[in-house]
Chains A and B, each alone.
Chain A
Amino acid sequence: MREVELAIIGGGSAGMAAARGAYENGVKDILIIERAKEYGGILEQCIHNGFGLHTFHEELSGPAYAEKYYGLIKDIPGIRFEYESAVMNIGDDNVLTVQNQEGYEKIKAKAVILSTGSRERSAGAIGLRGDRPQGVYTAGTAQQYLNKEGFLVGKRVFVLGSGDIGLIMARRMTLEGAEVVGVAELMPYSNGLARNIKQCLEDFDIPLYLSHTVKAIHGKKRLESISLIAVDENRKEIPGSEQIIPVDCLLLSVGLIPENELIEDLGIEMDGRTKGSVVDSNYMTTREGIFACGNALHVHDLVDYVSEEGYKCGRAAADYIHNGKETQEKNKSVLHKGISYMVPQYFYKGKDIEFMFRVTGIYKNAKIHVWGEGFDKHLPQLSLVPSEMVKIRLRKEDLEHVNGEIHWEVEE
């Protein structure tokens, strides 16, 4: 059986960064197992720019960011890529079963990093109602058809969900000759980055219908129209507020779900809010030797943060390979008002820790209040919105006297 020191599942932005982090921390035998023909993961279909502002101080397109990052690792002999290879299963002792065009093989690794990205929530999962015509796609699938194959999946488009992918595709389809007649968002605030609302909707005069949803879709073999309806403060449909909008295509941008198929049957603890695994400050899951980072851990907004997280995860996996697991007890974050989730869920003392989280609503001029044994911080934030991930660094000194838990809340 083949043995490697570190196996990284997924060679997208998180996986490549993890490889670099592990290598720079002394691991010289790294295998990145990638199921596509190329590195880069989802970046390969994101031809819009906005990637790399933090990492490279440049605004790059997705593929360009991937290529540039790949450039940092491609000449390192200790980091190898295996393409068109899919990990089918993680067995005991971190033995991976890998399928590719050479056969089915087993690879044993000292540590495994899951950087498998996320998938889109589908029409079926949101119980989209109405007929069953062709013409409903998740925004990412439409993006794949357009950016990689050169085809439009519709000419008169409506978008459900103001997540970034939907906004980006609204602009994309318009630039390629489709008419995008509107974007509906269930919540009273948008789900995407502020700059995307401006650059994808406002700049193109595409109306954003907040507190609205698609009640039903209509059409026989092809989509013919949608029923747009307003919702109240409890997100219940307001009867009588329906309008029929003729379209031949509905794009869904209704959420991303971390892809954790490989570990779900292993009894690893999952976080019901992130839908990713529960990890400690070394990005290790509750199963020894298995780590997670990137969109597979929690859905990110910026690739730069993904790369940072991947890098830290790689470094930590290297520490584990050389020194084994942590001996100290772990501490946990307890969440209160306004905090939707926290990554990492657990942490160890003795180092600065960078926490990443999202808030549950829109807060202006609020503070993040974080406290524990021996410290109490009130950190002012300019604006807090659910669609923008927050990063807070707590110093080693802050955490020195913590006794099992720290607490977080939004303070207005």
Chain B
Amino acid sequence: MYDVIIIGAGITGTLIAHSLSRYDLKVALLEKESDVAFGASGANSAIVHSGHDPKEGSLKAVYNLRGNRMYRDVCEDLKVAYRQIGAFVVATSEEEEEKLDTLIDNCIRRQIPYEVLSGDELRSREKNLSDDVTKGLSLPTTGIITPWEVCMAATEEFVMNGGDLCLETEVQAIEKKEDHFLVSTNRGTMEGKIVINCAGVYADKIAGMLGIHRYTITPRKGEYYILDHTGEKYVDTVIYPIPTVKGKGVLAVPTIHGNVLLGPTSDPMEDKDSVSTGDGLDAVSREIHKTMKNIPMNKIIHTFAGLRPVSDSGDFIIGEDEDVKDFIHVAGIQSPGLTSAPAIAEDIRDIVLGKLKPEKKKEFKRREAPVIMAYMSDEEKDELVKRDPDYGKLICRCEKISKGEIRDCIRRPAGARDVKGVKRRCRPGMGRCQGGFCEVEVVKILAEELGKDLNEISAAGGDSRILVAEAKEDL
């Protein structure tokens, strides 16, 4: 019998699991995909927003602000990257300038540091801002992270401290018994005293399994371009247009690794699974010209789409269900969901602690910071290679990743088990050649480390095996 079963290993699920793993609780984290952060948490703008734009009185406003103030410490604690690069919200007309006033009011009320700048002042700081920008708001407490990195680090410590990570486990039915839940999955049934619904675009489906139909979640797709990080830096601050009802708009966002994201769009979908790209990319190309100029379209190396889980109320749905005791909703976690997650996790943890009153663990095991050669000096690299020659074998030349780093990310607790897992943990395949040269080598290392044949290695779990047949098999 688990004390807590968490459904969905996205940003909220993994951070909740992580906080609970500090206590003497038996916790299961269920995820239907082959790795954590496969849903919205793995495909977003990666921004820790300042809290300037959610509607006053909404849960989003409260949690965004709290989360923003926690993030630096959360990342330092998990040993993952966080950069407070700041943001500009830019107006390109008088009408838009008026909307800036609402945002300024929010900042004052919420005590968010801000500065009003003229178009020229903005352009002196970011030279690729459009000439149409007349005025803007600087939001220095805006940060950026690598979202799946946060999820993976949290999951690693969860597992190191006794948590049960159940990947490729899809919940099919939930039954409420007298004082616990019976959760049926494709891998068997389990019992838990408390169930926390962090299922993203499927949160309504999960709630529906208990007859709860309080909300519907509509997936809203956002498509993005990714620019390569070589050559001159295109932008070094998060650039927001003036927000509209549809959302924050098409942004230019630097990433932790020096890439730039252009996007997202915001299109409601019927299909909860489709992350295809197409028309949205055209919209991004058009819209980005409003705020930026000299867009280096020839540096595009990748595109992706994410599905935001949007609730009908447009706000987060957080808390224990009114009727079904011990079933906790964490739903509708669209922007500013990523930013809000650490604060949400605190509150959910408190609900669980209030109910079960567990002891705090005497020892909480911490993850070791990964070896990242890109951050080391030449002398440090030399020493490292002499200690362990695998760090001297270059596998991904675009991102300069060694065999040692790849091997490490497979060996870690809750480590990589497929190509996408390696890619997201240490970056081979994220550079200009997009895995053209290194994917084969990564597959070979995975096979070696996992004791499998080459053709058993998948790209991203499920039926995504890379090597379909042996040569001449069908002849």
Chain A interfacial positions (CB closer than 8 Å to B): 35, 84, 86, 88, 97, 99-106, 119-120, 122-125, 127, 129-134, 138, 140-141, 144-146, 148-155, 176-178, 216, 220-222, 248-249, 261, 264-265
Contact = CB atoms under 8 A, between A and B. Distances in A.
A103 B300 contact: no
Contacts, number: 162
B369 interface: no
B377 to A, nearest CB: 9
B18 to A, nearest CB: 28
A134 B466 contact: yes
B185 interface: no
- Among B225, B302, B393, B468, the most chain A Cβ lie within 10 Å of the Cβ of B468
Contacts of A122: 301-302, 432-436
A103 B385 contact: yes
Contacts of A154: 468
Interface string B419-436: 000000000000011111
A153 B466 CA distance: 6
B230 A264 contact: yes
A401 B171 CA distance: 82
Contacts of B231: 264-265
A221 B400 CA distance: 29
Contacts of B58: none
Contact of A177 (B281, B466, B473): B473
30 contacts: A35-B394, A99-B385, A99-B402, A101-B392, A102-B389, A103-B382, A104-B381, A119-B432, A122-B302, A122-B433, A124-B301, A127-B300, A131-B274, A132-B305, A134-B466, A138-B436, A141-B437, A150-B471, A151-B454, A153-B468, A177-B473, A177-B474, A177-B475, A178-B469, A221-B460, A221-B464, A249-B468, A261-B230, A261-B432, A265-B230
B469 A221 contact: no
Contacts of B93: none
B467 interface: yes
A122 B276 CA distance: 17
Interface of B: 225-226, 230-231, 273-278, 281, 300-305, 378-379, 381-382, 385-386, 389-390, 392-394, 397-398, 400, 402, 432-437, 439-440, 444, 454-455, 458-475
A97 B393 CA distance: 14
A42 B195 CA distance: 54
Nearest to A131: B276
A253 to B, nearest CB: 12
Contacts of B432: 119, 122, 261
Contacts of A120: 433, 436
Contact of A133 (B300, B302, B464, B473): B464
Contacts of A151: 454-455, 467-471
A103 B461 CA distance: 36
A223 B23 CA distance: 44
Contacts of B277: 127, 129-130
A84 B400 CA distance: 13
Contacts of B464: 133-134, 221-222
Nearest to B386: A103
A145 B457 CA distance: 13
A178 B302 CA distance: 28
A209 B409 CA distance: 44
B392 A145 contact: no
A139 to B, nearest CB: 10
Contacts of B465: 134
Contacts of B274: 131
A127 B392 contact: no
A132 B394 CA distance: 28
Nearest to A147: B471
Nearest to A270: B231
Given A151-B455, A264-B230, A265-B230, A177 B386 contact: no
Nearest to A146: B471
Contacts of A103: 381-382, 385-386, 392
A102 B230 contact: no
Which 7 pairs across A and B sit closest by C-beta, in order of nearness? A124-B302, A134-B464, A177-B474, A122-B434, A101-B389, A151-B467, A104-B382
Contact of B385 (A104, A129, A144, A261): A104
Contacts of B470: 150-152
Contacts of B466: 134, 145, 153
Contact of B378 (A101, A104, A145, A152): A104
Contact of B472 (A130, A149, A177, A261): A177
Contacts of B300: 124-125, 127
Contact of B440 (A88, A125, A141): A141
Nearest to B378: A104
Nearest to A176: B471
A153 B464 CA distance: 11
Contacts of A129: 276-278, 281
A314 B463 CA distance: 50
A227 to B, nearest CB: 10
A222 B385 contact: no
A248 B393 contact: no
Given A149-B454, A261-B398, A102 B468 contact: no
Contact of A152 (B230, B389, B393, B468): B468
B471 A140 contact: no
Contacts of B435: 122, 141
Given A119-B436, A141-B439, A154-B468, A220 B397 contact: no
Nearest to B385: A103
Contacts of B444: 149
A263 to B, nearest CB: 11
A268 to B, nearest CB: 12
B301 A155 contact: no
A97 to B, nearest CB: 6
Residue from B274, B394, B439, B474 having most chain A Cβ neighbours under 10 A: B394
A119 B433 contact: yes
Contacts of B475: 176-177
A248 B436 contact: no
